[in-house]
Structure 1
Amino acid sequence: MFPDLTRDDVFRIETRRLWLRWPTAKDAEAVLRLAGDLAVAEMTARIPHPLPRAEVDAFLLQARRGNAAGTGLTLALARRSAPADLIGIVAVSGGADGPELGYWLGRPHWGAGLMGEAVAAIRDAYFAYAGGDVLRASARLDNPASRRLLERSGFVRTATEARSFLTRGDDVTVDLFRLERARWLGASAIGPETAFAA
């Protein structure tokens, strides 16, 4: 899916306020602390609570393996002023229906628009570097902030469905979203700041 350009662990994307870089073993404590926060974990479909350290270590290895193989792109978010300090994760990985966007941000960093910046960066990398045609995403019904973020990033809601996630022990109702290459290209011509303004 992703080209050689992204398959080296020196690859990074810089935005106005963020570095998006490959996650490393040194990020484990930050992932455990931030993603293990109930307020973060419960807004996702896949992060268990409590979050065991062994799962964090396995996630980091799997992310690096997927990045190296080009089967996905998982990037650690860090502020440009502190590039070694992980504050969240954004990823495009293979889903049941094709490439899917996923993300989380540590609670101390909520409300500053950082995840919108990160999602725009990886969305653009997917369409520009990987030549993707469609990118999918989902958001829990009880997570309106995530749904708004996807809509501002150009995604269009296509359906609502219940999905089974083992980490939740039950079905989770989610809104499904998709962004097609043609829509992304049209917005790119407008410019990154105004592309999908609400």
Structure 2
Amino acid sequence: MFPDLTRDDVFRIETRRLWLRWPCAKDADAVLRLAGDPAVAGMTAQIPHPLSRAEVDAFLLQARAGNAAGTGLTLALARRSAPANLIGVVGLVGGEGAPELGYWLGRPSWGGRLMGEAVAAVLDAYFAYAGGAAVTASARIDNAASRRVLERCGFVRTGTETRAFPARGGAVTGDLFRLDRARWLGLASIDPETAQAA
């Protein structure tokens, strides 16, 4: 799915305020602290709470393996002023059909409109470098900030679905979204300045 360009761990994307890079072992403490926050984990479908160090280590290994194989692209978010300090994660994971976008941002970085900037950069990379046809995403119905990020980055809501997510202790209802290549090409540009942080 992803070209050789993204399959090397030196690959990165720079935006006005962010540095998106491969996650690495030294990110484990930040992931554990930030993604382990109940306010962050609770808005996702897959991050368990409490979050264990073993689960974080497994996530980092899986993300790097997917990046190397080209089956996904999971990137650590850091501010350009501190590229070694992870503040969140954004990624596209392949599967049957279009890849699915997922992301989370640590609570200390909320409200700065950083996630919209990161999502726009990943979408641009996917459609430009990988020649993708479409991207899907979902957001919990009670996560208005995440839905705003998707809508402001060009995604269109396609429905609502309830799925089983053991990390949340049962079924979770979420809104489904899709962004296809034609719509992405039709956008003058995704305006990350107007996207809300999740």
Deviation (angstroms), 1:169: 1.9
Q: Which residue of 1 aligns with 2:142?
A: 142
- Letter of the 2:191 partner, please give it: E
Higher RCO (CA-CA < 8 Å; seq separation 6+): 2
Deviation (angstroms), 1:166: 1.4
Deviation (angstroms), 1:95: 4.0
- Letter of the 2:21 partner, please give it: R
Number of aligned positions between the proteins: 195
- Letter of the 2:91 partner, please give it: A
The DSSP-based 3-state class of the residue aligned with 1:10 is coil
Q: Which residue of 1 aligns with 2:63?
A: 63
The TM-score, its normalising length taken from structure 1, stands at 0.95
Q: Which residue of 2 aligns with 1:82?
A: 82
- Distance across 2 between alignment mates of 1:96 and 1:163: 17
Q: Is contact 2:153–2:190 with CA below 8 Å preserved after alignment?
A: no
The DSSP-based 3-state class of the residue aligned with 1:98 is coil
Deviating beyond 3 angstroms after TM superposition, the runs of 4 or more aligned structure 1 residues are 191-197
User: Alpha carbon RMSD of aligned pairs, Å?
Assistant: 1.5
Aligned sequence identity (%): 77
Aligned ranges for residues 142-161 of structure 1 at < 5 Å? 142-161=142-161
- Distance across 2 between alignment mates of 1:130 and 1:182: 15
Q: Is contact 1:101–1:137 with CA below 8 Å preserved after alignment?
A: yes
Q: Which residue of 1 aligns with 2:14?
A: 14
Q: Is contact 2:154–2:190 with CA below 8 Å preserved after alignment?
A: no
Q: Which runs of 5+ in 2 are unaligned?
A: none
| Shift in alpha-carbon separation, 1:105–1:148, aligned structure 2, 3 A | same
The TM-score, its normalising length taken from structure 2, stands at 0.95
The DSSP-based 3-state class of the residue aligned with 1:88 is strand
- Letter of the 2:89 partner, please give it: I
Q: Which runs of 5+ in 1 are unaligned?
A: none
Q: Is contact 2:117–2:193 with CA below 8 Å preserved after alignment?
A: no
- Distance across 2 between alignment mates of 1:155 and 1:95: 19
- Letter of the 1:71 partner, please give it: T
Deviations 1:121-180 (A, max 9, x none): 001111111111010000000100100110000000000010111111210000000001
